[in-house]
Structure 1
Amino acid sequence: MTGADGEGHIFDHLLELRSRIMRGLAGLGVVLLALLPFANKLYAWLSAPLVAKLPEGAHLIAVEVASPFFAPLKLAFFAAMVTSMPWLLYQAWAFVAPGLYKREKNLALPLLASSLLLFYTGCAFAFYVVLPSVFGFLTMVTPEGVAMMTDINAYLDFVLVIFLAFGLSFELPVALVILVLLGWVTPAQLKEGRGYAIVGIFILAAVITPPDVISQLMLAVPMCLLYEAGIVAARMLAPRGTAAGENGTE
């Protein structure tokens, strides 16, 4: 291959990357435009777990002048990102797939689909299970004489952090499978390090969740179960040599 051919090949890849990025952004923009008219309704839906736990007469407040406008707008953008994630991942896959071998493609597609499903599951678990419990605890321990009136922007930031924390934490099985496929660890090593992993999970849960035992357990227990699921999936997808070595050591 001559230097000119190599430069032309790189230029073609850059054009393809630009095209995929533009398509991804266009899809994100379409979803965002579709969600903008419902931004206030989205915020009302998102605030329902807290509003349901507030004392009678209490409500959310807007401390900053522009918060009633920017908070729903920020939520609409986040919802558009989450909704259009399959389209964005498809654009990334369409760019990378031509350079992969058949076996790599067969492994990558299930991993992408699983990671997307686990992220959505983590967000749903946070919204329907964790947030009501957390807000119930916080309203219960509010000192007498203190009116609990949360700023809408602060509430949105808090909830989005919880969503990201649980969504990314639920990716643990995919992360373990990738580590095994890269050859950095083996399923046997994951099994032997289970005790250290559980301790690390509980420390992580204590750091990224609100300061109550309920939410910490609600993150730590599913992550421990997902760790076990990751070991099982890693055994199924591990290269034959790795699996054979593991069987020989047990």
Structure 2
Amino acid sequence: MTENNSTEDSGLQESFLSHLFELRDRVVKSALAIIAVFICLVYWAPDIFHLFAQPLLEALPAGGKMIVTDVTGSFFVPMKVTMLVAFLIALPVVMYQLWAFIAPGLYLHERKLILPLVVSSYSLFIIGMAFAYFLVFPTVFKFMASYNAPLGAEMSTDIDNYLSFAMTTFLAFGITFEVPVVVVVLVRMGMVTLAKLKEIRPYVIVGAFVISAVVTPPDVLSQLLLAIPMTLLYELGLLVARLYVPKPSVDDQSN
């Protein structure tokens, strides 16, 4: 009996270690993909940062400019932006490594769902960031700059602070645009029924405005630009989730 238990324990330990080694290899491959893309882009780091800062530069009034308050800021901030771009470009590789790690433990019907989820998640995240860059940034920056003229204040922004603001906003909108995917997964896995999600719609709308008030700058305009898309994306998720409602089993039908 003791020998059987020790054999089982050693087998479990070997299985755990093999999964741990595989996870390490997947993480290393993902990191190498990001680093490889970064190395290819690093020469154009100043140009990438200029494109990254374009929404703010266009909204600055006459005399306004971006400044550097840190000795190393002019070097490290463009590097950080370039690393962000490299991560986004290499994200499909990272997602594939994640999928390859968890796929052996999934059923066949679950594997079929993974690819659409990965593609839609990546696409929606990029769309959310593009929405922030092309619509939210210009709107919010022009709105903020308009308040400086009556005050007679010169608008100058530190590039490190701009990076922090932009990263937070990108992350907020990228995650927000994943709402349809979350709704579909909840319905497909049977965690929540479609009828229940429709029933809690008013609470979701209130929650969208609360979340937008927390993660966006303290102005009504930017909050609306996040809360309204979040609400519309929830409705989109409800529409798409109709295609993924689990079919009742034979036992359920007989009952």
Q: Is the 8 A contact 2:38 2:82 kept in 1?
A: yes
TM superposition shift of 1:13: 2.2
Q: What secondary structure sits across from 2:68 in the alignment? A: coil
TM-score (structure 1 length as normaliser) = 0.92
CA distance in 1, matches of 2:215, 2:227: 11
Q: What secondary structure sits across from 1:159 in the alignment? A: helix
Q: 1:228 aligns with which of 235, 241, 247?
A: 235
RMSD: 1.7
Q: Does 1:201 align with 2:208?
A: yes
Q: Is the 8 A contact 2:67 2:156 kept in 1?
A: yes
CA distance in 1, matches of 2:226, 2:120: 19
Amino acid of the residue matched to residue 171 of structure 1?
A: E
**Percent of counterpart pairs with the same letter?**
44
TM superposition shift of 1:12: 2.6
Q: Is the 8 A contact 2:77 2:163 kept in 1?
A: yes
CA distance in 2, matches of 1:9, 1:162: 41
Q: What secondary structure sits across from 2:65 in the alignment? A: coil
Q: 2:171 aligns with which of 164, 168, 183?
A: 164
Q: Is the 8 A contact 2:46 2:78 kept in 1?
A: yes
TM-score (structure 2 length as normaliser) = 0.90
**Structure 2: tracts of 5 or more residues without a match:** none
CA distance in 2, matches of 1:6, 1:54: 61
CA distance in 2, matches of 1:144, 1:180: 52
CA distance in 1, matches of 2:23, 2:214: 38
Q: Does 1:181 align with 2:188?
A: yes
Amino acid of the residue matched to residue 127 of structure 1?
A: Y
Partner of 1:248: none
CA distance in 1, matches of 2:162, 2:82: 15
TM superposition shift of 1:165: 0.5
Partner of 2:85: 79
Q: What secondary structure sits across from 2:74 in the alignment? A: helix
TM superposition shift of 1:240: 1.4
Q: What secondary structure sits across from 2:67 in the alignment? A: coil
